Structure 1
Amino acid sequence: MRRALLAITGLAAGTTALVVLKGAPGTGQAAQDRPVAAAPVAPGGAAAPEPTPGATTPSARPSASAKPTAKPGASRTPAARGGTTARATTAAPRTTTKAPTVTTRTVTGPTVAYRYGSLRVQITLSGSRIVDATGLDMPVGGQEGLRADDVQARYSGSSGEVVAKQSANLNTVSGATYTSTAYKQSLQAALDKA
């Protein structure tokens, strides 16, 4: 009789220890091997609602009246025992940064005297990029004015060669070599100043 009582008590203690060490119902090996995408099925055959990210499920949160049954230091989670668990992930919070403000500034090169007059070049920069260029104080009228107009048309403006090349390394305008050279000199000085 004594042996039977000890055997039953030992069996009950062993079963209790096994249940405690294996974890709560639903966290056994069968639950661990279930694919993450499969929805858990509630009693009665209906699919259980999907958990929201960051929310704790009732089985994961102990109730206030529940008393710990495991020994201190013993872990009951499958991940701590080397198993894998499906964990809801949340996206990192987005941080918004204000785009850097691009400053637009105007730089004017020195006046360059040449055979047919004098001129200076003014450039507009957005950040470090040239967005516009124009020749100032260029000769007007006569043969010198026509040469200056040709140089202005070729080099200046937001679609001119200065903006396209972003430098003073420009092609010389045919028939306006002196004006082209003076324009490039003033432009280079403006770029150096910028």
Structure 2
Amino acid sequence: MRRALLAITGLAASTTALVVLKGTPGTSQAAQDRPVAEAPAVPGGSAAPESTPGGVTPSARPGATVKPSVRAGASRTPGARTSSATTRATTAAPRTTTSAPKVTTRTVTGPVVTYKYGSLQVRITLSGSRIVDATGLGMPLDGQSGLRSDDVQARYSGSSGEVVAKQSANLSAVSGATYTSTAYKQSLQAAIDKA
């Protein structure tokens, strides 16, 4: 990133220096060295501009510019040389766009935790460093243990569960499912630590 910025800055500086050193468009060495008698014609008028003290016309001085006066209906004499206001073309440095880093979604699974009614493990899905989903795996399905597992899953798991809301394993215990809640939080904390 720093190299790109330095390259762009160098390019802009060198382009600006080139435009400045090249000089004014329409002013060449031949025009600067031209005697007063050969001063460029002024459009719309037949006489050369008046001389300044020292006998030098403004258009004969190096780097001097004369704005032409254009009258309605006046025509230019073919081949007549006129100088105009200085116009400098500058090139804009290319814009560097820094897009936001792409957020990666990844899944981390905690260890299997064995408790009084069975075993379970928790899998979390992260978007960047934020937990966006959590679910309990291998939880008991039958009988009283299955009902406790369902209560814990309903409260903790999913994209709108307590794990996503709190972004930590500091969860309140589910009433009547203390062992299952404790096992869930242990596996969850290990998964967060891995992430």
- Into which bin does the TM-score normalised by the smaller protein fall? 0.5 to 0.7
Partner deviation per Cα, 1:123-160 (whole Å, 9 max, x = no partner): 11222221111001111122211111011011111111
TM-score for the superposition, normalised by structure 1: 0.57
TM-score for the superposition, normalised by structure 2: 0.56
Residue aligning to 1:84: none
Aligned amino acid, residue 86 of structure 2: A
CA distance in 2, matches of 1:12, 1:58: 19
CA distance in 1, matches of 2:108, 2:63: 77
| Stretches of structure 2 lacking an aligned partner (at least 5 in a row) | 1-49, 73-82
Over the aligned positions, Cα root-mean-square deviation in angstroms equals: 3.4
Aligned amino acid, residue 59 of structure 1: A
Structure-2 change in CA distance of 1:58 and 1:22 (3 Å): closer
Residue aligning to 1:60: 86
The number of residue pairs the alignment matches comes to 135
| Stretches of structure 1 lacking an aligned partner (at least 5 in a row) | 1-10, 27-40, 45-56, 62-86
Q: CA deviation at 1:58?
A: 4.2
Residue aligning to 2:167: 166
CA distance in 2, matches of 1:114, 1:16: 108
Q: CA deviation at 1:88?
A: 8.6
Q: CA deviation at 1:181?
A: 1.1
- Do 2:51 and 2:57's aligned partners in 1 also have CA atoms closer than 8 Å? no
CA distance in 1, matches of 2:181, 2:121: 11
Residue aligning to 2:114: 113
CA distance in 2, matches of 1:16, 1:145: 109
Give identity over the alignment, percent. 70
Residue aligning to 1:128: 129
1:24 corresponds to which of 65, 87, 91: 65
Structure-2 change in CA distance of 1:13 and 1:126 (3 Å): closer
CA distance in 1, matches of 2:125, 2:175: 26
Aligned amino acid, residue 101 of structure 2: P
